[in-house]
Structures are given as C-alpha cells and as structure tokens.
Amino acid sequence: MRIDSVLPDRASPGQSVIIQGEDLETTARVSFGDQEVPFVIDGEALVVEVPDGSGTVEVTVEGADGTSDTSNVTIEES
C-alpha cells in the first residue's frame, strides 16, 4: 500500500479529503494520528472525513497488503 497524496493537505474537522495511492482498494483502516476515521473507497482513491483536532497529524492506511508509509495533513480549527 502506498499513499501518493492527500488533498487538500489542510482541512477542518468534518471536511472530506481524498487519499490517492496504490493498492488502496484493500483498505481496512485509515488513521489520522491515533484516531481511526471513517472512509469510503471510491475507485482507486479513498474519501475520508477529517476528525476533530488541530495541528499536523500523520495519515496511515492499513489493509490486506500491509501498512502504508505516513503522509501529513494539517487539521485547522474551524
């Protein structure tokens, strides 16, 4: 599994971001820092809801093909 991008890379809680990468169709879990977040598989991308919080967090995707490297997202206070 690989994360190529998280767009936008700055978002507010409740906003959706799109994770693009490789082998994401086998995703079982998406984490923002230590928080597991809901997601929808949309073709070769994931649509993810940004959790409550603020600051820069690491995004990780886990699935049948293992765990991705991390990608950073900044959660902005709304």
Q: pLDDT tens, 25-65?
A: 999 999 999 999 999 999 989 999 999 999 999 999 999 88
Identify the pLDDT of residue 48: 97
**Domain CATH number, residue 35:** 2.60.40.10
Identify the pLDDT of residue 65: 85
State in Å, rounded, how far the first CA of the chain is from the last one.
31
Domain count, the chain: 1
For 60, the domain range is 2-69
Residue 75 lies in a domain: no
Answer yes or no: are the C-beta atoms of 65 and 25 closer than 8 Å.
no
Residue 34 lies in a domain: yes
Residue 64 lies in a domain: yes
Query: Over 90: is that where the pLDDT of 20 sits?
Result: yes
